[in-house]
């Protein structure tokens, strides 16, 4: 049995999530269903904060909300004292609707539109994470027009490739994100921002990738950021107050994954920054992190109902469920691996290898290659650790409605995103008058 859920089996032998029987959830709200154990979200935010408190440094734990953005999620993050990253007008709007404190919002993105920058300026977000020269000019235009000022950070590409799947690498030199360092772009960007009285330069940002398991990449990035900050103090008489090392802390998806606890990465980052700062007689800056996956990934479960099955002699059978790439595209998009368990009997012995197939019309719509017990149509399967980049990447492909999202905590469940209806699917359509 999957050891992750040992403590989540109730008296009738069902998987529980946030103290709620998963089969009751499936019955009441239907499948496919996304369920979050809210306590686990809170727990991870607190674990990150604790490390900073223990190390006695100024900090911000900025939840990278692209991992899962919803009003309820911003509410929980806000309640836990987290900051948040947004990357679009839509995420910013959702955070606003949640009453998220705007001063704790950072606006990211490699091609923010003028309208998005305008919204960010008018709503007084805490920081604009400037990504490129075009954005410096665009932001200046918006600030002048609105006679406003704003805090900014510069995103740089530290030239570090963390060992991870290629699509998850964002910190190497050949990247669409941020200012290059070696060629002097970052220095030039600094000069431009310092010369602009409407932009208050707070510091430096780098995000080296996602689902990273090695400490090394983070330590190198942290050291590199201090190195740049030191050179900026020397050459530009500018002392960075904030160093943001991004997110990307890897989580366990399958038995073969052995990540450190997310907060262990942060410990190492703080140690590196402290020692590199001390070596250079540089004041210890505020240290910000931007975890997304590690906060919501392990807290999420996708519940599916088992349907058809295809057996071909000598081959691994295909077992189909009522969801798939429309609610979790990660397996199809970057061969992400997941484990699935039989929610109505997690202790039942696994006896077969299956291709767990979705219902979408693509051969690549396989959610997992996994081992399962003997299952029959109507059984409920739970995919584990689906909380990050699952629902947030959901689509209406094949005109399937997106699932509902439920928050479960202390034995109580609440729908926080309603299931789409068939009517929702056509509500933007207009008939063509010929």
Ligand X SMILES: *Cc1c(COP(=O)(O)O)cnc(C)c1O
Q: Write out the residues near ligand X by the rule CB under 6 A.
A: 64, 66-67, 85, 108, 207, 210, 246-249, 290-294, 388
Q: Which of 288, 251, 250, 252 is nearest to 269 (CA)?
A: 288
| 318 annotated to bind ligand | no
Backbone angles phi, psi at 6, to 5 degrees: -50, -40
CB of 380 within 8 A of CB of 304? yes
| 402 annotated to bind ligand | no
Q: Is the dihedral of CA 342, 344, 350, 356 positive or negative?
A: negative
Name the minimum Å distance from CB 260 to ligand X: 14
Q: How far apart are CA 344 and CA 21, in angstroms?
A: 9
Rama region for 19: left / alpha / beta (φ>0; ψ in -120 to 50; rest) = left
Q: Which of 187, 85, 189, 88 is nearest to 134 (CA)?
A: 189
Name the minimum Å distance from CB 140 to ligand X: 22
Active site residue 122: no
Nearest residue (CB) to ligand X, 148 versus 335: 335
| 330 annotated to bind ligand | yes
| 291 annotated to bind ligand | yes
For residue 340, give both structure tokens: 């699935």
Nearest residue (CB) to ligand X, 166 versus 429: 166
DSSP state of 67: G
Residue, CB closest to ligand X: 292
Q: How far apart are CA 278 and CA 285, in angstroms?
A: 11
Q: How far apart are CA 328 and CA 403, in angstroms?
A: 11
Instruction: Compute how many other C-beta atoms are within 10 angstroms of the C-beta atom of residue 317.
Output: 14
For residue 346, give both structure tokens: 């997690």
Q: Which of 48, 2, 35, 122 is nearest to 292 (CA)?
A: 48
Name the minimum Å distance from CB 278 to ligand X: 27
For residue 132, give both structure tokens: 């490129």
DSSP state of 183: T
Backbone angles phi, psi at 144, to 5 degrees: -65, -45
Nearest residue (CB) to ligand X, 84 versus 370: 84
Q: How far apart are CA 142 and CA 147, in angstroms?
A: 8
| 389 annotated to bind ligand | yes
Name the minimum Å distance from CB 309 to ligand X: 34
CB of 364 within 8 A of CB of 325? yes
Residue corresponding to tokens 């063509």: 432
Name the minimum Å distance from CB 85 to ligand X: 6
Name the minimum Å distance from CB 388 to ligand X: 6
Name the minimum Å distance from CB 33 to ligand X: 22
Nearest residue (CB) to ligand X, 83 versus 294: 294
Q: How far apart are CA 58 and CA 166, in angstroms?
A: 33
Is residue 229 packed enough to be buried (19+ CB in 10 Å), middle (13-18) or exposed (0-12)? buried
Name the minimum Å distance from CB 296 to ligand X: 8
Nearest residue (CB) to ligand X, 291 versus 298: 291
Nearest residue (CB) to ligand X, 29 versus 218: 218
User: How long, in residues, is the chain?
Assistant: 434
Q: How far apart are CA 219 and CA 51, in angstroms?
A: 16
| 248 annotated to bind ligand | yes
Q: Which of 157, 110, 152 is nearest to 241 (CA)?
A: 152
Nearest residue (CB) to ligand X, 213 versus 282: 213
| 290 annotated to bind ligand | yes
Collapsing DSSP to helix, strand or coil, 75 comes out as helix
Nearest residue (CB) to ligand X, 67 versus 73: 67
Query: Which position among 28, 361, 377, 396 bears the catalytic label?
Result: 361
| 360 annotated to bind ligand | no
Q: Known binding site for substrate: residues?
A: 293, 330, 334, 362, 389
Q: Known binding site for pyridoxal 5'-phosphate: residues?
A: 248, 290-293, 389
Task: Give the residue numbers marked as catalytic.
Answer: 361
């Amino acid at each position: 049995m999957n050891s992750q859920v040992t403590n989540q089996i109730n008296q009738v032998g069902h998987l529980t999530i946030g103290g709620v029987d998963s089969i009751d959830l499936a019955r009441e709200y239907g499948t496919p269903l996304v369920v979050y154990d809210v306590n686990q979200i809170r727990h991870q935010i607190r674990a990150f904060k604790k490390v900073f408190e223990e190390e006695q440094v100024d900090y911000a734990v900025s939840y990278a909300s692209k991992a899962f953005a919803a009003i309820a999620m911003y509410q929980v993050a806000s309640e836990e004292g987290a900051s948040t990253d947004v990357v679009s007008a839509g995420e910013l709007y959702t955070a606003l609707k949640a009453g998220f404190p705007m001063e704790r919002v950072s606006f990211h993105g490699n091609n923010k539109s003028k309208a998005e920058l305008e919204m960010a300026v008018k709503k007084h977000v805490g920081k604009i994470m400037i990504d490129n020269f075009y954005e410096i000019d665009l932001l200046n235009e918006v600030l002048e027009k609105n006679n406003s000022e704003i805090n900014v950070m510069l995103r740089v590409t530290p030239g570090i490739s963390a060992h991870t799947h290629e699509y998850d690498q964002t910190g190497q030199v050949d990247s669409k994100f941020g200012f290059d360092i070696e060629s002097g772009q970052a220095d030039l960007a600094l000069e431009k921002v310092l010369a602009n009285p409407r932009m208050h330069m707070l510091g430096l940002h780098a995000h080296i990738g996602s689902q990273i398991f090695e400490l090394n990449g983070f330590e190198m990035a942290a050291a590199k950021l201090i190195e740049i900050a030191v050179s900026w103090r020397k050459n530009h008489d500018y002392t960075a107050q904030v160093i943001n090392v991004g997110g990307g802390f890897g989580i366990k998806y399958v038995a073969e994954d052995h990540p450190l606890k997310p907060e262990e990465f942060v410990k190492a980052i703080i140690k590196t920054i402290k020692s590199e700062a001390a070596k250079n007689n540089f004041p210890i800056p505020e240290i910000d992190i931007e975890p997304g996956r590690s906060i919501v990934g392990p807290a999420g479960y996708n519940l599916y109902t088992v349907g058809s099955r295809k057996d071909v002699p000598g081959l691994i059978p295909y077992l189909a469920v009522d969801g798939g790439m429309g609610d979790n595209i990660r397996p199809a998009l970057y061969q992400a691996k997941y484990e699935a368990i039989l929610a109505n009997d997690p202790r039942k012995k696994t006896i077969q290898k299956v291709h767990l197939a979705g219902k979408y019309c693509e051969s690549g719509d396989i959610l997992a290659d996994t081992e399962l017990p003997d299952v029959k149509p109507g059984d409920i399967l739970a995919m584990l650790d689906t909380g990050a980049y699952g629902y947030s990447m959901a689509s209406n492909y094949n005109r399937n409605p997106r699932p509902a999202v439920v928050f479960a905590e202390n034995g109580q469940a609440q729908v926080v995103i309603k299931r789409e209806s068939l009517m929702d699917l056509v509500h933007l359509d207009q008939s063509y008058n010929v």
